[in-house]
Structure 1
């Protein structure tokens, strides 16, 4: 029985479990870390950190040693901090009992990944355990990236306090960041160079410039709130969550979909909002406004991807262009997942942006449902059945 047939037969147990996990994962957006965003406006959360770390794994991929599967490393970094929903973040400059932390995180992994269907539970838990063990080349690369991203954020910021510089230097010379010297030696040396205010190797400086610009995505606010309704979602954490959606709902994709490529598309898809800003799907309905936004995004893509070394710039731009064109099965699936992610967040927050833009169910069907159904046919009936009661109660069905 296919997933579509299963839904039509009245069985939604698998999708219920997948969405239970995805909505629980939304809470990672409320877990505050000790690191600040690079504009120093606030402390970052663990969801946007996970996206930025995954981006670093892709940006610095040429430094990965033989045997590293970069796509697998990206997947590990999507999942690695989900345990912090229960266990919290543990800043490196504050002492924590490592045995107690490990036990708390293991309990969190059991509970949170246990929300999933059994096959996904086993797969995601195995990825997290591989990452934590740091024994395979891929896990070592992913861990090295995770260890160095806080350093890179600090040395890339316009200013650092004396206390922060002391923490970063201690990390680089005597802390966990020292482990990265044998895994990504060039990136480790680059961190030392930037800490000591030297420009560093030219190729890495270009990659770093792009990665620093991407940090601004954490300050781009979207119309959709996070699931608890407490604040608007930002585009950095949205990019993480929509990647997690694609990973979790990959069984809805057509056989010809390349899921690893879909994740890379979603990793990069909203980078242009650093310059062009977010355009709410229920807000930009005027063709002239949509055309103006498309031009702004093309200009942003040219500038931002142009910061990278030529080969990587070409690769990333081609991935972004393919997503925007939405012609390949992979891009169509990625687009459908991007449309799906905000819907249940609006529902969870009693309407969210539907209230702001006075959205009807018919408009949701046209603007969102048709796009989801194109790439994941079994998904829209499931989502529509969940949101229908809200629209009916509001007199908008």
Structure 2
């Protein structure tokens, strides 16, 4: 007979399939379609694995990847909030806390609490792992926008200052990656992908 715990785990896994239907504003680099949350989470997890050697401090990459895999689970219920949408961001925290209760509450308390703690650590951005994870979360759509000819930056007329503000955690996470971001932002401004302040 199957345990209740295992059945809860399977229900949770089935629920995660909904991430594939949560569309983000960011398009794929080839502009063929909008990216979904599952694609985004996979991409940033692999990015972290590949780019961890450029972190300013030694990080627990396994913990970073765990954070990246769970950081957007709340969007199954809260939806994706576009980072440059000031109005939608006003109640984002409230929506996501309610969603966190629901999604992590599907699991037995020990498992649900562990995933919730990872999500909260990511959101607080105080540990070196959380800062690196947040940097990957911001760098991936940054790359998509740059390499697609402007992407959402161009579509929503985003100024250079806002792009710098959004990618700012990278400055603390990695000097090398921060330098690349600066070069790309300045080049994006020259190319008209973003507006000059």
TM-score norm. by structure 1 comes to: 0.47
Corresponding residue for residue 375 of structure 1 = 173
Q: Tell me the matched-pair count.
A: 195
**In structure 2, how many angstroms separate the alpha carbons of the residues matched to 1:356 and 1:247?**
31
Q: Can you give the 5+ residue segments of structure 1 that lack an aligned partner in the other structure?
A: 1-189, 191-199
Offset at 1:387? 3.9
- 1:329 equivalent to 2:128? Answer yes
Offset at 1:256? 4.1
Q: What pairs with 1:248-263 in structure 2 (closer than 5 Å)?
A: 248-263=50-65
Cα-to-partner distance string for 1:114-144 (whole Å, 9 max, x where unaligned): xxxxxxxxxxxxxxxxxxxxxxxxxxxxxxx
Cα-to-partner distance string for 1:215-270 (whole Å, 9 max, x where unaligned): 10000011111111111000001000000110010012233421110000001000
Corresponding residue for residue 216 of structure 1 = 18
Q: Which residue of the other structure, out of 177, 191, 194, is the alignment partner of 1:393?
A: 191
The higher relative CO (CA closer than 8 Å, separation ≥ 6) is in 2
Q: Can you give the 5+ residue segments of structure 2 that lack an aligned partner in the other structure?
A: none
Offset at 1:393? 2.7
- Determine helix, strand or coil for the equivalent of 1:249: helix
* Residues 335, 375 of structure 1: 8 Å contact kept: no
* Residues 206, 308 of structure 1: 8 Å contact kept: yes
Seen in structure 2, the aligned counterparts of structure 1 residues 390 and 256 have a Cα distance that, compared at 3 Å, is closer
- 1:242 equivalent to 2:44? Answer yes
Q: Which residue of the other structure, out of 148, 169, 191, is the alignment partner of 1:349?
A: 148
Cα-to-partner distance string for 1:35-58 (whole Å, 9 max, x where unaligned): xxxxxxxxxxxxxxxxxxxxxxxx
**In structure 2, how many angstroms separate the alpha carbons of the residues matched to 1:361 and 1:392?**
11
- Determine helix, strand or coil for the equivalent of 2:24: strand
**In structure 1, how many angstroms separate the alpha carbons of the residues matched to 2:160 and 2:67?**
29
Corresponding residue for residue 308 of structure 1 = 107
- Determine helix, strand or coil for the equivalent of 2:175: coil
